[in-house]
Structure 1
Amino acid sequence: MAPLLTARIQLLLLQAMGFLIGLVGQAARAFGGPKFDSMTTRPVTEPLLLLSGVQLAKLIRQRKVKCIDVIQAYINRIMDVNPLINGIVKYRFEEAKKEAHAVDTKLAEKQEDDATLEKKWPFLGVPLTVKEAFQLQGMPNSSGLVNRRNTISQTDATVVALLKEAGAIPLGITNCSELCMWYESSNKIYGRSNNPYDLRHIVGGSSGGEGCTLAAACSVIGVGSDIGGSIRMPAFFNGIFGHKPSPGVVSNNGQFPVARGAQELFQCTGPMCRYAEDLTPMLRVMAGPGIQKLKLDEKVHLKDLKFYWMEHDGGSILMSKVDQDLILAQKKVVAHLESMVGASVQHVKLKQMKYSFQIWVTMMSAKGHDGKEPVKFVDLLSDHGKPISPLWELIKWCLGRSTHTIPAIGLALLEEKLKYNSEKYKRFKAMEESLHKELVEMLGDDGVFLYPSHPTVAPQHHVPLTRPFNFAYTGIFNALGLPVTQCPLGLNDKGLPLGIQVVAGPFNDHLTLAVAQYLEKSFGGWVCPGKF
């Protein structure tokens, strides 16, 4: 049998297995899932919860609002809403209140002007949440892996330390998928997170707990990481903003799992937030010395930019068709840019986008520049160094005895099958290089590319098991090493978030961030859950 046909059969078998597992999961949800009085979270009534991080920091610095009042308002909101969404999995409320009192004391003692304080502490007193995969001193750092449930961080990840130095106050850590390798945030330690717009729907992964926490107004800024869309999918499904920076700009130090091989080049740490105006100042802080690689001080005039758009990947058999309401939302953006901005917007067909999944797999399995192989997923699942048998774990899962989730077991079972032989590797590596060259030349330093965030709006729980490859709509840009900002575009007629990815050439993050701010003003940005 031809190698390409064999691979296609294997992938179709994987989809079939996922479909069957998904049916089991949906049946479990129907007959034994949690019951809620309402399918959405409660609307926000406290005005302090409706301000951006930049606005909150300014009010606190100017002593118009006490930091402790801001922190307490968020604690109250979390206690009210988090039992529904299960976004924050460990609180640090007492520490946060002490830090808030320290901010108020500091401001009472010092009479420095607002400009001086802003330069020192741009996020002074601003509530922050952090994906559990990152080290936050005194907090768990398991990445949803049961054999790491007692691992407590003794220090802060680099980005967490930088945000704390900028004045941000962490309220807690947020849920993720097991080992951050699936796009539904559920694991055997913390359970499952729920979408604040409809609790029956997923929050995305792996930064899904962060996405739903921000969307539910339980936090205002957050930290996520992204190797295949783990910032952008949760941001899209939960109607907030998320930015995957250019590679090498923001430090990945202090998170688990640790990327190795070529994965080091494509894993990105970045900001997640409700308001677009927080993206750039967050990136400035999180990048630290890496900020020198970017051009965030350059003024962007949208009418001078070249815009390109593509409504789907070209028709891969592995991916779902793009929802019509997402295509319509994208066309509205195109029409708006043409009529209101006077921008040039060109429809393009990039043929190799059709092979996004294959390109992503190829790049993620490659050796690094240092010759190191990527860490095997099955090795990460091992129990304190003791190897596991994926097949045995599957049997245990069927009996309700496994400590691993079915997506993790499935990936461990198929890990070797998803690796390509040298001939296929060369083929898809050549595709990646060709597509990268085509996009970089097309975008230059003054172009942006509009592309769907995902083929569908947030699916119901367990449905991703029947659509395991849909993440490739975001994953392709990790493989290509391009900066991307995920932007919300309101809600569809069922009350679920719409959105779009804005892509630029390498180190042109300032372009996507500028477009994000414009789209927020034009299309409304984040919509408070519970008001639909």
Structure 2
Amino acid sequence: MAPLFTVRIQLLLLQAVGFLIGLVGQAVRAFGGPRFSSRTTRPVTEPLLLLSGVQLAKLIRQRKVKCIDVVQAYINRIKDVNSMINGIVMYRFEAAKKEAHAVDKKLAENQEDEATLEKKWPFLGVPLTVKEAFQLKGMPNSSGLVSRRNAISKTDATVVALLKEAGAIPLGITNCSELCMWYESSNKIYGRSNNPYDLQRIVGGSSGGEGCTLAAACSVIGVGSDIGGSIRMPAFFNGIFGHKPSPGVVPNKGQFPMAMGAQEQFQCTGPMCRYAEDLAPMLRVMAGPGIKKLKLNDKVNLKDLKFYWMEHDGGSYLMSKVDQDLILAQKKVVAHLETMLGVSVQHVKLKQMKYSFQLWVTMMSAKGHDGKEPVKFVDLLGDHGKPIKPLWELIKWCLGLSVHTIPSIGLALLEEKLKYNYEKYRKFKAVEESLHKELTEMLGDDGIFLYPSHPTVAPKHHVPLTRPFNFAYTGIFNALGLPVTQCPLGLNAKGLPLGIQVVAGPFNDHLTLAVAQYLEKSFGGWVCPGKF
């Protein structure tokens, strides 16, 4: 146990450093940023904005609604509230309107029946937004790195191309954290995104701009990526749905930074949306040929499933305690399943979950099959040129001269402490394999595991710097390679979104998606901000 004890001491020291950096960040930036007269964004008044992507596509195919009217409604909404949330960081409104007119013209000239049109274009005319880390032709692809501010995409990422081929119309690109490695979406190019339910709170990261854009009804479907919770945390903080697929199903090609070596198995591209019924159709399109690995055509009878739940990670010294609001919400789900479905939801204690952060960071620092170490964060910050000097960047940041955010500088400072160590890797790899075996055997092909999406509801800006390891509540399932859907569960007494992670065994994504639709019907799903 001596090596584990040593790791524990190191991590406590790192958390102390993070806490101090967080205090500095809050103190220095406390009086910065915009001030708004309202705490939330304005509520939706246009009915077209309250329909799912599937519903919109159907109305457009049936020629009951013009595509240009749908697109214009979303453009109007964006112009109305995006200045408050700073979710979309670059528009393509004129191109989107031209594409909408082209859809209407095609439908006027095309006499094919609706079923044929649906097969060709399942998302015909549906507004789409894309995380800036993904290539969208003609749009920036910087991932918030100042040295890449002029990097313009010449092509589309694979999933973006597939969604466009399915008829979706991109309205713009959305904000992310610098290099997609932090759970508050802020960078030196586009600034900070704000939560539509409370503008003084975070949107999560790294797909945070996408999360708040969808939650504020500025888009209906979106593209995110997830290597430690970057789809699920923003989905949770913003009260929407987000799905991390089983690894190797949806192509990751066309995003920056791209995971390399051993990290590739952790990175997943997936759908984000306001309505659960859009998840499976989006996944079908985004996966391309990879969809054959899943069983989305299988009918799911929820009464035949085995359910398990766990209210926290078992008491890790690195993590915040889980909010009582979130525990109560989870218990309501358990009670509802038992009462309405007549199933037994078994409470479990997976003791090794308390090592979630250690397992994630150990796997992320592992060497690839070719023996090469993963790309260092200091190299990525230098855009694969000259690596940055973290201590010097910290000094520059204190003077207001650094082009990097304090989370990125902090991660670079901590990187040396978290570098690959064979003995640490060997011990935690054994823990990971044991936990993976325990969970997969428990879940089988008919099990669902309910687990918190995060220890707290959306924190205020800068607070994540004081609790840097809380992301491990989502990151653990990247390390374990399991499919997960984050599902909204309404709002707490302060009007902030509640939610839960729904986990299944490998390649059983159809189970979590079915549960997501059931929970949406039972608990209301997305709640329009501004109405609380």
Question: Does the TM-score normalized on the shorter chain lie above 0.5?
Answer: yes
In the TM superposition, residue 526 of structure 1 has moved relative to its aligned partner by: 0.0
Compared CA separation, residues 383 and 439, structure 1 to 2 (3 A)? closer
**Whole-angstrom CA distance in 2 between matches of 1:421 and 1:143:** 29
Shift of 1:420: 4.8
In 2, Cα distance between the equivalents of 1:363 and 1:2?
20
Partner of 1:232: 232
Answer yes or no: is the 8 Å Cα contact 1:365–1:419 preserved in 2.
Answer: yes
Match of 1:276 in 2: 276
Asked if the contact 2:21–2:410 (Cα under 8 Å) also holds between the matched residues in 1, the reply is no
* Contact in 1 for aligned 2:490/2:498 (Cα 8 Å): yes
- How big is each residue's C-alpha offset from its partner over 1:459-478, in whole Å with a ceiling of 9 and x where there is no partner? 00000000000000000000
User: What is the SS of the residue equivalent to 1:31?
Assistant: coil
Shift in Å, 1:138: 0.1
Give the match's secondary structure for 2:31.
helix
Tell me how far 1:413 sits from its aligned partner: 1.0
On the 8 A contact 1:264/1:368 being kept in 2, the answer is no
Is the Cα contact below 8 Å between 2:25 and 2:406 reproduced in 1?
Answer: no
Aligned to 1:192: 192
Structure 2 CA distance for partners of 1:454 and 1:184, relative to 1, 3 Å: same
Question: For the residues of structure 2 that align with 1:208 and 1:108, how far apart are their CA atoms?
Answer: 38
Q: How far has the Cα of 1:506 moved from its partner?
A: 0.3
Deviates more, 1:357-366 or 1:222-231: 357-366
Deviation for aligned residue 1:387: 2.3
Deviation digits for residues 391-436 of structure 1 (CA, Å, limit 9, x no counterpart): 1101101111000001101111111201352222111000000000
Residues 359-368 or 102-111, more deviating: 359-368
Q: Which residue of 2 aligns with 1:51?
A: 51
Deviates more, 1:487-496 or 1:372-381: 372-381
Would the aligned equivalents of 1:147 and 1:384 in 2 still touch at CA under 8 Å? no
Deviates most, 419-428 or 493-502: 419-428
Q: Following TM superposition, by how much is the alpha carbon of 1:13 offset from its aligned partner in structure 2, in angstroms?
A: 2.5
Q: Which aligned pairs between 1:85-104 and structure 2 lie closer than 5 A? A: 85-104=85-104
2:88 touches 2:172 (CA, 8 Å); kept in 1? Answer: yes
1:28 Cα deviation after fit = 4.2
**Equivalent residues, number:** 532
SS of the residue 1:346 aligns to: strand
Per-residue deviation, residues 311-348 of structure 1 (Å, max 9, x unmatched) = 00000000000000000000000000000011121000
Q: Look up the match of 1:29.
A: 29
1:386 deviation in Å?
2.0
- Any residues of structure 2 matched to 1:169-184 within 5 Å, and which? 169-184=169-184
Q: Equivalents in 1 of 2:133, 2:343: separation in Å?
A: 40
Question: C-alpha separation between the residues in 1 aligned to 2:371 and 2:442?
Answer: 32
Unaligned ranges ≥5, structure 2: none
- The separation in 2 between residues aligned to 1:451 and 1:208, in whole angstroms, is 21
Whole-Å Cα distance in 1 between the matches of residues 358 and 473 of structure 2? 12
Rounded Cα–Cα distance in structure 1 between residues aligned with 2:516 and 2:370: 36
> Given that residues 380 and 387 in structure 2 are in contact (C-alpha distance below 8 angstroms), is that contact kept between their aligned partners in structure 1?
no
CA distance in 2, matches of 1:33, 1:141: 24
Distance (Å, rounded) in 1 between the aligned partners of 2:327 and 2:4 = 31
Contiguous gaps of at least 5 residues in structure 1: none
Distance 1:324 1:54 in 2: 35
| Maintained 8 Å contact 1:356/1:475 | yes
**Shift of residue 375, structure 1, vs aligned partner:** 1.0
Distance 1:414 1:26 in 2: 20
Worse-superposed segment, 363-372 or 255-264 = 363-372
Shift in Å, 1:29: 4.7
Other structure's SS at 2:499 match: strand
Q: Partners of 1:370 and 1:10 in 2: how far apart?
A: 29
Q: Which residue of 2 aligns with 1:290?
A: 290
Q: Is the 8 A contact 1:305 1:344 kept in 2?
A: no
**Distance in 2 separating the partners of 1:33 and 1:84:** 11
Q: Which moved more, 1:3-12 or 1:252-261?
A: 3-12
Q: Which moved more, 1:38-47 or 1:4-13?
A: 4-13
Report if the CA contact (8 A) 1:260-1:373 is conserved.
Answer: no
Deviates more, 1:20-29 or 1:157-166: 20-29
1:28 to 1:530, Cα distance in 2 relative to 1, 3 A: farther
Counterparts of 2:293 and 2:508, CA distance in 1: 9
CA contact (8 A) 2:366 2:420 kept: no
TM-score of the superposed pair, with normalisation by structure 2: 0.98
Alignment of 1:405 onto 2:394: no
Aligned to 1:312: 312
1:489 partner SS: strand
* Shift, 1:2, TM fit: 5.4
Query: 8 Å contact 1:361–1:419 — kept in the other structure?
Result: no
Q: Flag the 1:384–1:331 CA change in 2: closer, same or farther, 3 A.
A: closer
Whether the 8 Å contact between 2:90 and 2:172 is mirrored in structure 1 is yes
Q: State the alpha-carbon separation in 2 of the partners of residues 370 and 163 from structure 1.
A: 34
Q: Is the 8 A contact 2:205 2:230 kept in 1?
A: yes
1:464 aligns with 464
Corresponding residue number in structure 1 for 2:260: 260
